[in-house]
Amino acid sequence: MSIIMAFIIGGLICLVGQLIMDLTPYKVTPAHILVGFVTGGAVLSALGLYGPLVKIGGAGATIPISGFGHLLAQGTLEAVRAKGLLGAFTGGITAGAAGIAAAVIFGFCMAVLFNPRG
Amino acid sequence: MSAPKRVGQHTLQFANPPVIVATASVVGPKEGEGPLGQTFDIVIDDSYFGEETWEKAERKMLEEAVKLVVAKAQLKPQDIDFLLAGDLLNQTISANYAARTLGIPFLGLYGACSTMYEGMALAAMLIDGGFAHHVVAACSSHYDTAERQYRFPTEQGVQRPPTAQWTVTGAGAVLMAPVGNGPRITHATIGRVLDVGIKDPTDMGSAMAPAAVDTIIRHFQDTSRGPIDYDLIITGDLGRVGHEIATKLLGEQKYDVSHNYSDCGILIYDHERQDTHAGGSGCACSAVVFAGHLMGKLNEGRYKRILGVGTGALLSTTATQQGESIPGIGHGVVIEKLG
Amino acid sequence: MADSKQPGPPKKPLTLAEQVMQQKQTYDQQAYQRLADGVKPRHNVLVNALNAFWVGGSIAALAQIITLIFIATGANPQDASTAATIIMVFLGAFMTGLGIYDEIGKVAGAGSIIPITGFANSIVAPAMEYKREGFVFGVAARMFTIAGPVLVYGFVVSVLIGLIAYFLK
Q: Are B82 and B136 in contact (CB under 8 A)?
A: yes
B204-256 pLDDT, tens digit per residue, is 999 999 999 999 999 999 999 999 999 999 999 999 999 999 999 999 999 99
Residues of chain A positioned with their CB less than 8 A from the CB of C90: 102, 106
Query: Helix C116-129 crosses helix C101-108 at what angle (to 10 degrees)?
Result: 130
Min Cα separation B32/chain C (Å): 21
Minimal Cβ distance to C60: which of A6, A19, A75 = A6
Across B169-173, average pLDDT: 97
pLDDT < 70 stretches in chain A: none
Same domain, B14 and B45: yes
List the 54-83 stretch of B: residues with Cβ below 8 A of A: 54
Same domain, B193 and B318: yes
Q: At B226, which CATH number?
A: 3.40.47.40
Same domain, B20 and B145: yes
The pLDDT of residue C11 = 61
Residue B77 in any domain: the answer is: yes
Same domain, B34 and B106: yes
Same domain, B188 and B167: no
Same domain, B60 and B119: yes
Residues of chain B positioned with their CB less than 8 A from the CB of C43: 161-162
Q: Where are the domains of chain A?
A: 2-113
Same domain, B171 and B188: no
pLDDT of C10 strictly over 60: no
List the 142-161 stretch of C: residues with Cβ below 8 A of A: 143, 145-147, 149-151, 153-155, 157-159, 161
Same domain, B163 and B235: no
**B161/C128 Cβ within 8 A:** no
List the 78-107 stretch of C: residues with Cβ below 8 A of A: 81-82, 84-86, 88-90, 93-94, 96-99
CB pairs under 8 A between A and C: 281
ipTM value greater than 0.85:
yes
**A116/B153 Cβ within 8 A:** yes
Min Cα separation A44/chain C (Å): 11
Confidence of residue C22 (pLDDT cuts 50, 70, 90): confident
Chain B interface mutation, best of A27, A33, A110, A115, highest count of B Cβ atoms under 10 Å: A27
Confidence of residue C17 (pLDDT cuts 50, 70, 90): confident
Residues of chain A positioned with their CB less than 8 A from the CB of C146: 30-31, 34
CA distance A28 to A39: 16
CA distance B310 to B296: 18
B324-339 pLDDT, tens digit per residue, is 999 999 999 999 998 6
Same domain, B109 and B143: yes
Q: Smallest Cα–Cα separation from B170: which of B72, B288, B55?
A: B288
The pLDDT of residue B339 = 63
Residue B1 in any domain: the answer is: no
Q: Which residues of C touch B (CB under 8 A)?
A: 28-29, 32-33, 35-36, 39-43, 48, 96, 99, 101-109, 112-113, 118, 121-122, 124-126, 128-130, 132
Minimal Cβ distance to B155: which of A29, A30, A116 = A116
Residue B54 in any domain: the answer is: yes
Domain count, chain B: 2
Q: Which residues contact C163 (CB under 8 A, 6 or more apart)?
A: A85, A88
Q: Smallest Cα–Cα separation from B280: which of B50, B84, B27?
A: B27
Q: Smallest Cα–Cα separation from A79: which of C163, C156, C79?
A: C163
Minimal Cβ distance to C128: which of A12, A22, A115 = A115
Flag whether residue B166 sits within 8 Å of chain A, measured between CB atoms.
Answer: no
C74-118 pLDDT, tens digit per residue, is 999 999 999 999 999 999 999 999 999 999 999 999 999 999 999
**A15/C60 Cβ within 8 A:** no
Same domain, B136 and B204: no
Confidence of residue C4 (pLDDT cuts 50, 70, 90): very low
Q: Per-residue b/e over B306-317, b at no fewer than 16 CB within 10 Å?
A: bbbbbbbbbbee
Mean pLDDT of chain C: 88
What's the CA dihedral at A20, A21, A26, A27 to 10 degrees? Answer: 150
Flag whether residue C59 sits within 8 Å of chain A, measured between CB atoms.
Answer: yes
Flag whether residue A26 sits within 8 Å of chain C, measured between CB atoms.
Answer: no
Residues of chain A positioned with their CB less than 8 A from the CB of B160: none
Q: Range of B135's domain?
A: 6-177
The pLDDT of residue C26 = 72
Neighbours of chain A (3+ CB pairs under 8 A): B, C
Same domain, B149 and B294: no
Residue B101 in any domain: the answer is: yes
The pLDDT of residue B2 = 74
